[in-house]
Amino acid sequence: MQPFELHQPDTLDEVLSLLEQEPDDTHLIAGGTSLMLLMQLGLVEPKRVVALRKVPGLDGIERTPDGGLRIGTMATHRQAETSEAVRAHCGALRKTFADVATVRIRNQGTVGGNIAHADPAQDPPPMLIALGAEAVLRSKNGERSVPLDEFFLGYLTSVMQPGEVLMEIRVPPLPPGSRARYEKFLPRTQDDYATVSVAATLRTNGDGKCEDVRVALGSVGGTPIHARPVEDALRGETLTDSRIADAAALVLDLVDPPDDARGSADYKRRMARVWTERALKRLRDNGAMA
């Protein structure tokens, strides 16, 4: 590992000042579960590392006045998993955080670090995309919000610019009657990355027609995938088995998974369709995660 300067500022202003000095050669570190591995492998060689651990106010999780949810960037996955605010907002989101790796990693890894790392195999991004979440970024130039389905640009690449800090994730309120579900298919151990993951939210009317639906997938491309064509095929429709199957088949044109130890690209493509169909049918049949 290449030598580097470690800075542990006590305030956000100090963090932003350090980033402004050498933005291209400075990396932020939250829990460190991703960055330290990249540094050990020589894939990232920052001259300066700025730790966020001592900056107060970045680890809060709370409901917002409008019924939404705010998750601070330094909140750990374990905090999110056990948070009453997360559970009250959406049980499927709580389950998603519980699916991240092992308890040891969940106690160390942070929600903000997970998002900023931009690994398409991570668990939280698809569920957060399905919930319509946005990332709040701050720099010396001010603050901006980015819908999470526009945040990821490619493998380990996001819209974050040098000098920006991911402050928090904001999740809007769920409309009344909405149901949500997260499916993680992995033929190996529970703490592994998913071969395919699918997150979905669904709202139907009294006649069983789809009023709104959102679907996102993980581990099947260079970024988490917001499956808009699937959504468009279902809105306003009665959710019959054949209608859901036809809509789920549209993911075959969206995904571009790699061949790896978790399955061939062809296998993952087929599983993306199967698990999208399965998630939607379970939601239709009231299989929401409490």
For the chain, give every domain's residue range: 5-50, 61-171, 181-284
The DSSP-derived string for 170-223 is EEPPPPTT-EEEEEEE-SS-TTSPPSEEEEEEEEE-TTSBEEEEEEEEESSSSS
Pick the CATH number of 181-284 from 3.10.20.740, 2.60.40.10, 3.40.50.2000, 3.30.390.50: 3.30.390.50
Q: How many residues does the chain have?
A: 290
Architecture field, domain 61-171: 2-Layer Sandwich (3.30)
* pLDDT for residue 69: 99
Section 144-157 average pLDDT: 98
* pLDDT for residue 87: 98
Q: What residues does 213 pair with on adjacent strands? A: 202
* pLDDT for residue 189: 77
Alpha carbon separation from 58 to 36, 53, 75, 136, 273 (Å, rounded): 21, 9, 7, 12, 38
Give every CB contact of residue 83 below 8 A, 6+ residues apart in sequence.
61, 75, 94
Same topology, domains 61-171 and 181-284? Answer is no
* pLDDT for residue 1: 85
Give the C-alpha separation, 47 to 39, whole Å: 11
pLDDT-wise least confident of 48-57, 139-148, 179-188, 238-247: 179-188
pLDDT in tens, 244-280: 999 999 999 999 999 999 999 999 999 999 999 999 9
pLDDT-wise least confident of 23-27, 66-70, 74-78, 159-163: 23-27
Contacts of the segment 9-13: beta carbons below 8 A, 24+ positions apart? 9/50, 9/51, 9/54, 9/55, 10/54, 10/55, 10/56, 11/55, 12/55, 12/57, 12/58, 12/138, 12/165
pTM for the model: 0.96
Give the dihedral of Cα atoms 231, 234, 235, 238; nearest 10 deg.
Answer: -160
Token duo for residue 120: 């398409």
